[in-house]
Amino acid sequence: MTVPDEGSSRLETVVDGVVARRTRDVARAITIVENGGAAARELMAELSTRPQAQRRCQTIGLTGSPGVGKSTMTAALIAALREAQRSVAVLAVDPSSPFSGGALLGDRIRMQSHSGDADVFIRSMASRGHLGGLAAAAGQVLRVFDAAGFDVALIETVGVGQSEVEIAAAADTTVVLLAPGMGDGIQAAKAGILEIGDVFVVNKADREGASSTARELRAMIALSDKDAATGDDREWTPPVVTSVASTGEGVVDVAEAIDAHARWASEHGELTRRRLLRAVEEITSTLTGLLRSRLETEPLSEQVEHLAQEVATGRVDVHRAAERLWERVVDGGTG
């Protein structure tokens, strides 16, 4: 809990910079979050002392398979938001980095077209290597964006990883990008993406099959939307928008669909509900991180090792082992 004065004052400087939306300090703060540990905890504690910490960006989650045009759509949305005089911070969760430089290259290109604009901040973050979990790290980055006073925070993730999809789905508005021939309505319904998308975009709409993909999606949405028939507006019916992000075609429609959802969510209590749910998830994942760190220290670590030997050799099943450990945590974790 005690840190050297130098560290504290440096942290305060970074936080001062964040609330003044100095790009360099926003970037520094995110690096601290990425590195995790005590410094990240102190940063978040210091941030929470500032009145700015109580404001919230409009958050947009953008997800979809590799190749559907997420980076291009992100760039197009940034341009549209800037035209509307809105500041925007982008967090590109970059799971492809273990195996390719694609996303990083994309970032560099996007960075260039907005460099010098203090109202645009773009940062990519690796999806792996976060001890407290990716969701917790992304949540903390959002707090930094909040405090920096951006109007919009856009989180771009590849919709193929469990954690990555969950992060995009935790936004105020979740946009699911598809491309013709890459997905079909039945697959979408089966895998539950109908539930996570507030706005569906069939991108690369100049390709064959775009209109049938859009039609199929609309049919699936209509089927799953029980209240649509009664005209009950307490339920949101996700629109399906077509676009060609690379030429800008339809990007205005995407932006309008996002805003329409944001207005609806705000008016119907959905925004409050989602942010509460997100906070529950953030607290829960931070708590499980705390539990994990306790398990790594005495006296619990010894018990874990002993139980692991029993589980590894098949003498005890994992549920029973976890239950025994739970009893230790609750009864004697501190003793």
Show contacts with its own copies in window 33-72 (CB under 8 A): 41, 44-45, 47-48, 53-56, 64-66, 68
Among the residue ranges 16-24, 222-230, 232-240, 280-288, the one whose residues contact its own copies (CB under 8 A): 280-288
Q: Which of 131, 160, 219, 222 binds its own copies (CB under 8 A)?
A: 160
Residue 100 lies near its own copies (rule: CB under 8 A): yes
Strands (E) located in 95-162: 120-126, 152-158
Closest separation between CB of residue 232 and its own copies, Å? Answer: 27
Which residues are CB-neighbours of 92 under 8 A, at least 6 positions away? 71, 74, 103, 106, 107, 122, 123, 124, 125, 155, 156, 157
Q: Which regions of the chain does DSSP assign to beta strands (E)?
A: 58-64, 88-94, 120-126, 152-158, 173-178, 199-202, 240-242
The binder of its own copies chosen from 7, 37, 192, 299 (CB under 8 A): 192
Whose CA is closest to 169, among 241, 238, 112, 269? 238
Distance from chain centroid for Cα 121: 16
DSSP SS3 for 83: helix
- State yes or no: residue 79 binds its own copies (CB under 8 A): no
- Closer residue to its own copies, CB minimum distance, 78 or 220: 220
Structure tokens at 80: 């549209």
Question: Which of the ranges 78-86, 112-120, 161-169, 242-250 carries the binding residues for its own copies, by CB under 8 A?
Answer: 161-169
Q: Tell me: does residue 85 bind its own copies (CB under 8 A).
A: no
- 278 scored as a contact of its own copies (CB under 8 A): yes
Write down the least CB distance from residue 252 to its own copies, Å: 25
Q: Verify binding: residue 142, its own copies, rule CB under 8 A.
A: no
Whose Cβ is closer to its own copies: residue 107's or residue 120's? Answer: 107
Distance of closest approach, residue 51 Cβ to its own copies, in angstroms: 9
Least Cβ distance, residue 320 to its own copies (angstroms): 7
Torsions phi, psi for 156 (to 5 deg): -105, 125
Shortest distance, position 119 Cβ to its own copies, whole Å: 22
Per DSSP bridges, beta strands 173-178 and 58-64 are: parallel
Query: Binding of its own copies at residue 288 (CB under 8 A)?
Result: yes
Of positions 184, 225, 249, 256, contacts its own copies by CB under 8 A = 184
Cis geometry, peptide bond prior to residue 51 (ω within 30 degrees of 0): no
| Smaller CB separation from its own copies, 49 or 230 | 49
- Cβ proximity to its own copies: between 120 and 210 the closer is 210
Report the alpha-carbon angle 175-89-60, nearest 5.
20
Quick one: which of 82, 151, 161, 248 contacts its own copies (CB under 8 A)?
161
Contacts with 256 (C-beta within 8 Å, 6 or more apart), sequence order: none
